[in-house]
């Protein structure tokens, strides 16, 4: 069965981007969110916000409930 990277409907706080990555890689959502925050802080936050917004619009929404 092939996996598809998509925003999560179940594990979302804002748009489900981090939850989608967590489901795709089999990690817990808090690990992905924590890593995202750490990377965003060390990159002066602006690039992290831009990437999140870009992924929000480019990643399809998961079809499963």
Task: Give residue-wise pLDDT tens across range 34-64.
Answer: 999 998 888 887 888 899 999 999 999 988 7
Structural domains of the chain, count: 1
pTM of the model: 0.84
Q: What is the mean pLDDT of residues 2-20?
A: 90
Note whether residue 5 is domain-resident: no
Note whether residue 12 is domain-resident: no
Note whether residue 49 is domain-resident: yes
If DSSP states are collapsed to H, E and C, what string results for 31-63?
HHHHHHHHHHHHCCCHHHHHHHHHHHHHCCECC
Q: Give the range of the structural domain holding residue 28, as residue numbers without chain letter.
A: 17-58
Note whether residue 22 is domain-resident: yes
Note whether residue 48 is domain-resident: yes
Phi, psi of 24 (to 5 degrees): -65, -45
What's the CA gap between 44 and 40, in Å, rounded? 6
User: 28 with 39: CB under 8 angstroms?
Assistant: no
Rounded to 5 degrees, what angle do the CA atoms 21, 26, 27 make? 75
Note whether residue 25 is domain-resident: yes
Note whether residue 10 is domain-resident: no
pLDDT tops 90 at residue 21: yes
């Amino acid at each position: 069965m092939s996996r598809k990277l998509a925003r999560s409907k179940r594990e979302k706080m804002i748009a489900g981007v981090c939850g989608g990555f967590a489901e795709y890689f089999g990690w817990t959502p808090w690990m992905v969110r924590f890593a995202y925050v750490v990377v965003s802080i060390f990159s002066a936050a602006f690039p992290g916000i831009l990437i999140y917004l870009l992924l929000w619009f480019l990643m399809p929404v998961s079809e499963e409930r």
